[in-house]
Amino acid sequence: MKNTFFLKCLLTVTSIFFLNYQSICHAQNIQSNIDSLLQKQYRPHETGASFLIAKKGKIIYKKAFGLSNLELNVPMEPDNVFEIGSITKQFTAIAILMLMEEGKLNLEDTITKFIPDYPHGNKITIHHLLTHTSGIKDFTSVDGLNEISKKDMTPTALINFFKNEPMDFLPGQQYKYSNSGYILLGYIIETVSAESYAHFIEQHIFKKLQLKNTYYASHKKIINNRASGYQKKDGKYINNTYISFSLPYSAGSIMSTVTDMYKWNQAIKDNLLISKQTTKKAFTNYTLNNGTHIDYGYGWHIKTKNNVQRYEHGGSIFGYKSMGVYLPAQDIYVIGLTNCNCNSPTQITKEIAQLVAEN
C-alpha cells in the first residue's frame, strides 16, 4: 500500500513537472520566434526599436534592437524615449472625456461654442473632431506648411493657418483622418480647463498615472534616454528634419517609452482616468450619417481580424514611427517604438499580437 501511494505521488509530481516544463519550453519558443522577427527587421548596426508585450496584466517580453544613436554607436535600450506621433491622439481624446465627466463640455457641443467665428463651426461637433468625420481638411496637406514648420506657433495661429480651407465634405458624411480635428481638440482643452494643453496632460494624466518617462516633447529640455531620430535620403541615414512641436501639438507631440505606454494601456483598461461607461464611448465603432461603420472610436482604430477585435493606433513623425495594438478579449498588448520613420513597426506589431493570441 505504501509503495502504491508513493508511486501515485511520484507520478503526480512528475506530471506537474512535465506540464510546467512544456509550458516553459512553449513560452521560450514564442519568445525565440519574436526575437527572430525583430532581429531581421531591426539590425544591430542600424536604427532600432523597442518592443514590449503584455498578456493578462503581465509583461512577458521587453527588448530593444539596433542603435539609439548612430553617430555615437549607442545600443538601443528597452526604456529609451521616443516621439510617438499620432498615438498622442489617445491622450487628447481621453483628456476631452475627462473634461466631459467634469461637466465642462459636451460631446455634442459645436466648435462655435469655443471658436465663434470658425467656418461651418455651427455644424461641427466635438464628436466629429474625435472621430475624424468633421470634414475639416488635414492641415498637413495645406500649402505653406513648410514655411511655418520651424516656427513656434500659438494654437490660435495654427488654427488660423487651416480654418479657412474648403471643407472636404459635410460633417458626418465621410471618415477622413484629420490632424486638424485634434488640433482643435487641444485648443478646446485649453479653453475649458484654463491650462495649456501640455500642462493639462502632464498634471492630470502623466503625473496621476506616474508616467515618469512621458513628456510633451521639447527640443531644448534634457530628456534622459532620448533615442535620436533618423530618416533616409537616397538610401542613406540622415538626422531627422527639425519641426517645432507647436505644430503637431495635441495631434502628435508626446514622447514616451514602451513601459509607460503599457502603463497607459493598463490605466485605460482599468478605468483609472474615466468611468467604465465613458471608456465604452472611446471604444465604440461609430457610424456616418448613413449608418456605415468607420472603424474608429475616440483616439483608437477599432478593427476586427479573424473574429478578434483590436484597438490600435500608430504614429509617424519626422525620425520616428510607433504602433500599439490591444486585443481586449485576450488582454494582450503589444507596443513597438522606432527611431527611423524609414522602418515602420506597424505590420510587425500586428503580427506579434496575432502570434501571441494564437499561442
pLDDT digit string (tens) for the chain, length 359 residues: 445 544 444 444 444 444 344 445 456 778 989 999 999 999 999 999 999 999 999 999 999 999 999 999 999 999 999 999 999 999 999 999 999 999 999 999 999 999 999 999 999 999 999 999 999 999 999 999 999 999 999 999 999 999 999 999 999 999 999 999 999 999 999 999 999 999 999 999 999 999 999 999 999 999 999 999 999 999 999 999 999 999 999 999 999 999 999 999 999 999 999 999 999 999 999 999 999 999 999 999 999 988 889 999 999 999 999 999 999 999 999 999 999 999 999 999 999 999 999 98
SS (HEC) of the chain: CHHHHHHHHHHHHHHHHHHHHHHHHHHHHHHHHHHHHHHHHCCCCCECEEEEEEECCEEEEEEEECEEECCCCEECCCCCEEECHHHHHHHHHHHHHHHHHCCCCCCCCEHHHCCCCCCCCCCCEHHHHHCCCCCCCCHHHCCCHHHHCCCCCCHHHHHHHHCCCCCCCCCCCCCCCCHHHHHHHHHHHHHHHCCCHHHHHHHHHHCCCCCCCCEECCCCCCCCCECCCEEEECCEEEECCCCCCCCCHHHHCEEECHHHHHHHHHHHHCCCCCCHHHHHHHCCCCECCCCCECCECCCCEEEEECCEEEEEEEEEECCEEEEEEEECCCCEEEEEEECECCCCCHHHHHHHHHHHHHC
Domain map of the chain by residue range? 41-358
For domain 41-358, the question of CATH label 3.40.710.10 is answered with yes
CA gap 77, 198 in Å, rounded: 26
The pLDDT value recorded for residue 307 is 86
The pLDDT value recorded for residue 27 is 60
